[in-house]
A = this chain, B = another copy of it.
Amino acid sequence: MSLLEEKTLSTEKIFSGKVIQLQVDEVLLPNGKKAKRELIKHPGAVAIIAITDENRMVMVEQFRKALEKTIIEIPAGKLEKGEEPSACAKRELEEETGYDCESIELLNSFYTSPGFADEIVHVYVAKGLKKKENAAGLDEDEFVNLIELTLNEAQQAIEEKQICDAKTVFAVQYLLLQEVLKN
């Protein structure tokens, strides 16, 4: 056991919703004292860096109630129960953008807010995009606009804070690095 580890003394379940669960754990600290930890359980998510044959990033414009504003993000979505992340990535790409892809590869997985949440995002790179006929649609409470940006336009959108979430800023930086390494 790590010297930093915190042992759970008790768990109080506060809320169980459609997306998240909240619990407060009482823990034993490394120094023998007690503390409370407010913890969000989340099913995990995928995000997709999807590049068209014209070298544009496929993005969606979406209203985010938590932020009370509309922002531009790479396509993303929550894992369904028992769903394999790469299958989820293909499904979300189709539902949000209408694109099917020839290849989809895991680039990285990261926790978004380790201080209070267990949410992990699996980031995929999708290539060989083709518009799919009769593509599956969005969830009934989901509304997005599809937009396609060059890397320069995406960098501009970061400057202007239309792109302002961790996974999308990471995605743009990743493609910028690939671009620089190519030259």
Q: How far is the CA of A20 from the CA of B78 in the complex (A)?
A: 21
Kindly list chain B residues whose C-beta atoms are within 8 Å of the C-beta of A119. Answer: 113
Kindly list chain B residues whose C-beta atoms are within 8 Å of the C-beta of A141. Answer: 29, 33, 35
Central interface residue in A27, A38, A39, A181, by most chain B CB within 10 Å:
A38
- Give per-residue flags for A148-163: 1 if the beta carbon is below 8 A from chain B beta carbons, else 0: 0000000000100000
Q: How far is the CA of A140 from the CA of B32 in the complex (A)?
A: 12
Distance (whole angstroms) from the CB of A128 to the closest CB of chain B: 25
Distance (whole angstroms) from the CB of A74 to the closest CB of chain B: 12
Kindly list chain B residues whose C-beta atoms are within 8 Å of the C-beta of A39. Answer: 65-66
Q: How far is the CA of A113 from the CA of B119 in the complex (A)?
A: 8
Copies of this chain per assembly: 2
Contact (A5, B63) CB under 8 Å given A113-B113, A117-B117: yes
Q: Is the CB of B166 within 8 A of A121?
A: yes
- Count A interface residues, CB 8 Å: 71
CB-nearest residue of chain B to A62: B4
Kindly list chain B residues whose C-beta atoms are within 8 Å of the C-beta of A167. Answer: 166
A residues 49-76 in Cβ contact with B at 8 Å: 61-67, 70-71, 73, 76
Q: How far is the CA of A166 from the CA of B119 in the complex (A)?
A: 11
Q: Is the CB of A108 within 8 A of B158?
A: yes
CB-nearest residue of chain B to A36: B18
- Give per-residue flags for A114-150: 1 if the beta carbon is below 8 A from chain B beta carbons, else 0: 1111110100000000000000000011011100000
A selection of 17 A-B contacts at a CB cut-off of 8 Å is: A4-B144, A6-B65, A14-B22, A15-B15, A20-B22, A25-B65, A39-B65, A64-B111, A66-B117, A71-B111, A71-B114, A73-B114, A76-B115, A112-B165, A166-B167, A170-B170, A173-B177
